[in-house]
Amino acid sequence: MVLPAKIFEIKEDVNMLFAAQKLRSFREEEPYTTVSGETITLISEILDLKLEKDTISGIFSRDFVRSRVYRRKIIETPVTEESPFWIKRFGNRFFLIVLAPSTARGIKKLLTNYVANKMSRILFIKPNVILEVEIPHERLKALHESNPQATKLIWFDNVDIPGVEKLCLAGSDLADTSLYQEYLKHGKIWYVVFEVQKRGMVVGVTRNCVVTLFSKSSVEEFTNYIMEDILPLIG
């Protein structure tokens, strides 16, 4: 099971009750004319909205048209993608967590960013209120070194070696190897894959807050992990 989620920060205060009302009433319809001349209606809306204490949850549903070639002809098929999301209050900050649809494949990043930008306009009538966030390199480093035996893979970026863009290490006890220490001198940790032993799951975490589940766990267990363990790491 591979399940990616992306975390954004809402840079303005959120009235949870007012936000839930706005999200619940959101619906957009867009006419689309296919290559065959048929007109269909593409709908964007929010389903299954819930407000519980300091969390809003729901599903962002969006129709679009997928094109493919069949026997030299363009075939267009209406498709609906559903992205579960959570707005979570954490201290004095508000975060948006968007789960990419399992069917999204190569457009996961596009879909999660689309949801963040659209919700910025729904809630605040303007863009650039919901923004990307980052986990500092030092906190990813500390996360790995707190239990190096659990780490499966580390990618480094911002490498200062000419001609090298990224470095990768795989295997156990990476913090004890001289190669790990050498790579730290030349780059920053971008991506770590490790086992969360207390939760029995394997996850990957990038510096720009994409969290990917690689093991069998429920969506609830995965999002609880993000809210309880990852949000505190964000700078």
Total domains in the fold of the chain: 2
Same domain, 149 and 58: no
Let me know: does 212 contact 201? Beta carbons within 8 Å.
no
Between CA 85 and CA 87 the distance in angstroms is: 7
Could you tell me the pTM of the whole model? 0.91
Same domain, 17 and 104: yes
Same domain, 10 and 125: yes
pLDDT tens, residue by residue, 79-114 = 999 999 999 999 999 999 999 865 444 445 567 899
Report the CATH number that the domain containing residue 103 is assigned in CATH. 3.30.530
Same domain, 126 and 162: no
pLDDT at 96: 98
The answer to whether residue 26 sits within a structural domain is yes
Q: Which two tokens stand for residue 28?
A: 């957009």
Q: Which domain holds residue 32?
A: 3-132
The answer to whether residue 190 sits within a structural domain is yes
The answer to whether residue 215 sits within a structural domain is no
Between CA 184 and CA 167 the distance in angstroms is: 10
Same domain, 106 and 155: no
Same domain, 171 and 107: no
